[in-house]
Amino acid sequence: MISCFATTVRGLEQLLADELSSLGASQINVVNAGLEFSAELDDIMQINLHSRLASRIMIRLAYSGYRDEKDIYRLAKKIEWDKWFHIGNTIKVSTNAMRCPLKSLDFVTLTVKDAICDYFVEQVDARPDVNKVDTDMRIYTFLTEDSATIYLDTSGDTLFKRGYRRLKPEAPIRENLAFGLIKLSGWTPDRPFYDPMCGSGTIAVEAISYGLNIAPGLNRNFAFEKFLGFDDDKFNKMKEDAKKAIRKDIKLQIFASDINRTAIEIAKQNFQQINLDKYVEFSYGDFVKKRAPAKNGVLITNPPYGVRLAELDSLAELYPQIASNLKQNFAGWDCYFFTGDLRMPKLLRLKPSKKTPLYNGALECRLYEFKMVSGSNR
């Protein structure tokens, strides 16, 4: 078994633990913004291919206490790097830390890079090239107050980059966070689904992919494909099995709208490029004037939340209009709003039945649940 670490959005750790357990992970330990777990290499490939919630899957290569950079150098130098990749692969080393007493993380990064290169010089009298932009092997060093851990990335690009988003407006929600909202809502593919502030359509795409059981990693490559001993035939079989598992004939009721015409056009183009446009019904318009597209269902949206005073004032005027529309036209719907504006329930004058803390990057947010029971809110 291989010791691994998976990163995710803060707030989605337990959902990720359940997902990875179903994909072959064991000995799972939930930590802040991630999981420690054990898995075989085949399981690691499956997790990368199928995880909708992970951001990155890494293999733990070494762990120990340290006093200074020399200890970290020795830790990195003793790793058998030539078991994982060869000098023809480019490398990139990064360092993160919590309460680290060392003065320079850049110097730690350079120390680990030197240790890797020195190891290869001793073995084959040559060293791998460093490429910080389009690299083959990403090595991560994580330091606490008294311990150092060195990881080898298996994912390559972060896993929320599914490979389907060609065009995007400003600041779209990350795909694994979008799916996390769907999972937290309890939506199932037999129910209508509506995002009334859809932007480029990320939440709707994730709903369709989930409903059709499309593996999120089918349209991209992974770092493990460049590992020494990588079994190309085995991974191709995994992808073929994933393609066979797609539920192409399932009937979905997915609706998406936005007040921004450009956003809708971008969303339409994105959906056409990945052949999912037939599963969604797009419309243009202001949510405060929209009627429910079905008698009941699940509404999930990521409304704008401003930081400037003028934006906050504008939102304070918008929220009562949203609440009025929900009461008049969305009775029977389970409505979820993901926002960094923690004033929202108060300004809506609706009491959320649930509020889940989540982070969008470093920004603390909430997923608010409002169940619009027929008749009670009119």
Question: Is the per-residue pLDDT at 377 higher than 50?
Answer: no
Q: Model confidence at 163, in pLDDT bands (50, 70, 90)?
A: confident
Q: What average pLDDT score do residues 198-223 get?
A: 95
Q: What is the pLDDT of residues 304-335, one digit of tens each?
A: 875 555 567 788 889 999 999 999 999 999 99
Percent of the residues in the chain that have a pLDDT greater than 90, as a whole number: 85
Distance CA 258, CA 285 (A): 6
Are 147 and 63 contacting, i.e. CB atoms less than 8 angstroms apart? yes
CA angle 226, 129, 229 (to 5 degrees): 20
Residue 164, both tokens: 């389907």
Please name the helix (run of DSSP H) or strand (run of DSSP E) that holds residue 368, with its range, or none. Answer: strand 363-372
Question: Is the per-residue pLDDT at 301 higher than 50?
Answer: yes
CATH of domain 2-153: 3.30.2130.30
Question: Is the per-residue pLDDT at 29 higher than 90?
Answer: yes
Question: Is the per-residue pLDDT at 230 higher than 50?
Answer: yes
Residue 307's pLDDT is 56
Residue 378's pLDDT is 42
- CATH class assigned to 175-372: alpha beta
Question: Is the per-residue pLDDT at 300 higher than 60?
Answer: yes
Residue 306's pLDDT is 59
Of the listed ranges 105-114, 189-198, 238-247, 303-312, the least confidently predicted one is 303-312
Residue 137, both tokens: 């092997």
Residue 218's pLDDT is 94
Beta strands in 124-200 (DSSP E): 137-143, 147-153, 193-195
Q: What average pLDDT score do residues 291-295 get?
A: 96
Residue 251's pLDDT is 93
Question: Is the per-residue pLDDT at 169 higher than 60?
Answer: no
Q: What is the pLDDT of residues 272-286, one digit of tens each?
A: 988 999 999 999 999
Q: What is the pLDDT of residues 258-270, one digit of tens each?
A: 999 998 998 998 8
For 137-166, b/e burial (b = at least 16 CB within 10 A) is bbbbbbbeeeebbbbbbbbbeebbbbebbe
Are 205 and 276 contacting, i.e. CB atoms less than 8 angstroms apart? yes
Residue 171's pLDDT is 61
Give the strands of the sheet with 137-143, arranged side by side. Answer: 26-31, 34-39, 2-8, 54-65, 147-153, 137-143, 91-97
Question: Is the per-residue pLDDT at 170 higher than 60?
Answer: no
Average pLDDT of the residues of the chain? 93
Domain boundaries in the chain? 2-153, 175-372
Q: What is the pLDDT of residues 57-97, one digit of tens each?
A: 999 999 999 999 999 999 999 999 999 999 999 999 999 99
